[in-house]
Amino acid sequence: MHILLLNEYFPPDTSATAKFAAQVAEALSVNHRVTVLAGRPSYDPDARHPRYLLRREVRGNLAIERVGSTAYPRFEMRRRVANYLTYLSLAIPRALSIPSDVVLAMTDPPIEGIAGALVARLSGRPFVYNIRDLYPDMAVGGSIVRSGSFTARWEAMHRWALRHAARVIVLGEDMRDRIVAKGVDPARVAVSRDGIVIPEILPSPDNSVAREIRGNFRFALVHAGNLGFYGAWQTLISAVRMLENEGVGLVFIGEGAMKSQVEAMAAGCRAIRFLPFRPASEVPLVLSSGDLHVVTVKRGLEGVVVPSKLYPTLAAGRPVLGVAPEETDVVRMIRRTGCGIAADPDDPRSVAEAIRSVMHDPERLQTMARRAREISFSYDKVKQLKIFSDTIEEAVHG
């Protein structure tokens, strides 16, 4: 069959959705024709494109079409919105002119799912909606926009798109619960997580990168990944302040929209360090460095954002500290499998007590590490992409 995939970002864009769209397109093109309809690269791209109206590249069963949207750097919101609007104004007419058996839309820009539903509706094709970030819930919960008449209209349009989707593919059980609560038939909602490549051999924790990250901390908490608005940062930092004289340290590795605010929250605390991202080749060594790896979601955003950093942590055989509500996938997994410990994202004392409960218990930490590694094989990339592919085929063939 012929699959039309709509997402503004695609490599050389470096966003997470661009990388995942490329993975999906490559996997689907093994057995099907795939046309990706993207915009000009604008998300920290490795390469920039000159102006054009339409650009097409073909690699076997995979065709990549790019409409000539604006390509302003993403850091100024008004210009980023200009990229969104010019992409949609060019992509929707082009999508209507491309014959395909199914329309698959992701969530860049945030109303891409609504655009995909419109294209599918006007052209009489089935629609599959892959929700990477749940809007407008995410924009409201992250204080990006204020709740009001605008977001109410956005939500109404989003529910219209959900009703017209033959299948909705989400990242976790908590997101599935959110979608079902919006009135979508549970039978039409599939969970396909961000799969990972499971390393056969794990590096020794006693390596130069791990030693550099840990510094002088006797017990190291590591958060390696994006510092976005979704985390319970103040709770986590307050908990570490309580443990500052007990040898516990927290290391943030990475960047993100909230980094400056998080640095301000941590000002003056000797137990907290900030380090830049390491090269991709060193990621296994980074993952080997923490006694506990932090995955955090603040209350109100459960099911709105599903941190993908959880899965490489499991594959690395490292215990997880879930600072998140009980309804989140990470806490459900911890409770079900024993791969880590969980604490209330609103209560720094509960986080500190959770850390104290394991920091002097190496046998328990080893058990959690073993369970993490064991369950990681369920999230192998090949398995998760097969779920994704099967769901699209079901949408077309019933």
Say which residues have a Cβ less than 8 Å from residue 391's Cβ, sequence separation at least 6: 128, 167, 169, 190, 192
Task: List per-residue pLDDT tens for the chain, 398 residues long.
Answer: 999 999 999 999 988 899 999 999 999 999 999 999 999 999 988 889 999 999 999 999 999 999 999 999 988 889 999 999 999 999 999 999 999 999 999 999 999 999 999 999 999 999 999 999 899 988 888 777 888 999 999 999 999 999 999 999 999 999 999 999 999 999 999 999 999 999 999 998 889 999 999 999 999 999 998 898 899 999 999 999 999 999 999 999 998 889 999 999 999 999 999 999 888 899 999 999 999 999 999 999 999 988 888 999 999 999 999 999 999 999 999 999 999 999 999 999 999 999 999 999 999 999 999 999 999 999 999 999 999 999 999 999 87
Residue carrying the six token digits 């407008």: 136
Give the CA angle between residues 138, 11, 396 to the nearest 5°: 70
In 249-318, which residue ranges form alpha helices assigned H by DSSP?
A: 259-265, 283-287, 310-315
Question: Distance between CA 291 and CA 243 in Å, rounded?
Answer: 15
Say which residues have a Cβ less than 8 Å from residue 235's Cβ, sequence separation at least 6: 298, 323, 344, 345, 346, 347, 348, 351
Say which residues have a Cβ less than 8 Å from residue 125's Cβ, sequence separation at least 6: 100, 101, 102, 103, 119
Question: Distance between CA 189 and CA 168 in Å, rounded?
Answer: 5
CA dist 235 → 323, 326, 348 (Å)? 8, 16, 5
Closest to 8 measured CA to CA, from 38, 44, 40: 38
Question: Distance between CA 66 and CA 378 in Å, rounded?
Answer: 35
Domains and CATH numbers, the chain: 2-195+380-397 (3.40.50.2000), 208-378 (3.40.50.2000)
Closest to 135 measured CA to CA, from 119, 118, 150: 150
Closest to 252 measured CA to CA, from 202, 309, 179: 309
CA dist 167 → 20, 63, 146, 182, 369 (Å)? 18, 23, 30, 14, 35
Closest to 24 measured CA to CA, from 193, 231, 274, 154: 193
Parallel, antiparallel or unpaired: strands 2-6 and 102-105: parallel
Closest to 115 measured CA to CA, from 55, 61, 180, 69: 69
Residue type, 327: E
